[in-house]
Amino acid sequence: MRKHLSIALLSVFMAVCLLVGGVHAAGTPYVVDQTGSLTDGQVSDLNSQAAQVDKATGVAPVFVISDDCDGQAASDYAAALGAKGTYGDQYVMTVINMDRKTYYIAEAGTLAAGLTDSQYDALWDQFSNADSAYAGIQAYITSIQTILTADPGAIPTDRQKQLVQDGAGLLTDSQVQALITSLTKISEARQCEVAVVTVNSLDGKTAQQYADDYYDYNGYGYGTDDSGVLLLIAMDTHDMAITTYGYGITAFTDYGIQYLQDQIRPDMSAGDYASALNVYAQQCDRLLQMARAGHPYDETDAPKQDNTMLVLGGSVIGGTLVALLVMLGLGSGMRTARRQGMAQNYIRPGSMVMDSHFDIFLYNRVSRTPKPRHDDGPSGGGGSSLHISSSGRSHGGGSSKF
């Protein structure tokens, strides 16, 4: 099975990072880059990591970035590489054609054949949503290993716990029972389980990892595709994380997840946990209703702030002040002016900082539009970004502080 995906450039970039070096058993690097943007150390690390995954799973994780794929489509370039037998008969290969702004994910062999479409989506999202290409390829390789080595039998077929698990003791017994009743009605009506978990400690995991694992290993989810959404509240770090699976990924987009967290944050921060979780239940019902009607809450539904008058007022005041300062400075300021021979002499020490950084390419896909996750919320495109959990399943979700 091969998945062909088109991608369009969304952001202006400073550099493209990817690879070369590290060698496959046949003498070919797993990670190939025709742009030469990574350090030798990063290149070596990536190929060593890929070699270890190949040895452990029998599947070669391959990532190729090319300027133009020798004039071919990314799919044809991948097919040609596969036909050479360079990576054996078991591999998962991603090829990016920068000139055409397309990418193609191919697989070969029985071991890789079991990957689902959502897992392929998650592999790409792991790369494209990372802070750097180096981190993105690390996540891509790690995710392939996780998918191939996960034990499907570790996920129960039936839910093992109630829809409300208040391990942190934030609610009274009556509040817990009332919330369970509410979430059960919503879950049945919308055919998508809605759950809440509170804990005192994350036990060394990130909030997102904890939420994903709690969902998977406790058998949450409605129907054969285990559809659902779970809110995790961690009191030790003041994190809240939402994980989605199955239809929950469709119903709760990245914008929808941010919206949910924004709705409950005021009550959470004030310590009114019962009110916060009631709002969560109500808003989950609303967003699921929207999704079932064919319109999941997304970018076009997010409230827009009208700053027109603020900007206009600021412009007028700012312009007036600048004009005043210029007039006052013309007479006195020029008396002490001296021509400087070098540009650096005009710069006040410490006033300018040049920071080396990497701007990753972001892409749209034909089937849906993944978008990067930033601290200030989603930007551009809409849809749901995916990641691979420790169980090997692909989840949507997001986390923030309260």
How does strand 91-97 pair with strand 102-108?
antiparallel
Q: What would the mean pLDDT of 190-201 be, rounded to a whole number?
A: 98
Instruction: Looking at the structure, tell me whether residues 34 and 112 fall in a common domain.
Output: yes
Q: What is the mean pLDDT of residues 105-110?
A: 92
Residue 309 lies in a domain: no
Give dist(CA 398, CA 251) in Å, integer.
Answer: 14
Residues 173 and 144 in one domain: no
Confirm whether 238 is domain-assigned: yes
Which range, 79-88, 162-171, 359-368, has the best average confidence (pLDDT)? 162-171
Predicted pLDDT at 114: 82
- Do both 123 and 50 map to the same domain? yes
Query: Model-level pTM greater than 0.85?
Result: no
Q: Is the pLDDT of residue 315 over 80?
A: no
Confidence of residue 303 (pLDDT cuts 50, 70, 90): low
Q: Given a cut of 60, is residue 57 above it in pLDDT?
A: yes
pLDDT in the model for residue 37: 72
Same domain, 201 and 112: no
Q: Predicted confidence band at 304 (pLDDT cuts at 50, 70, 90)?
A: low
Mean pLDDT confidence for 334-352: 37
Q: What is the pLDDT of residue 377?
A: 44
Q: Domain for residue 342, yes or no? A: no
* pLDDT at res. 374: 33
Mean pLDDT across the stretch 194-202?
98
Domain final position from 117, 149, 181: 149
Of the three residues 149, 178, 205, the one that is the final residue of a domain is 149
Sheet bearing 394-401, strands edge to edge: 164-166, 193-199, 228-234, 239-245, 394-401, 387-388
pLDDT band at residue 92 using 50, 70 and 90 as cut-offs: very high
Look at residues 274, 265, 264 and name the one whose alpha carbon lies nearest to residue 172: 274
Mean pLDDT, rounded, for 349-375: 33
Would you report the helix, strand and coil content of the chain in percent, each value rounded to 5?
Answer: 45, 15, 40
Q: Is residue 349 predicted with pLDDT exceeding 80? A: no
Domain span holding position 248:
164-300+361-401
Structure tokens at 356: 């080396």
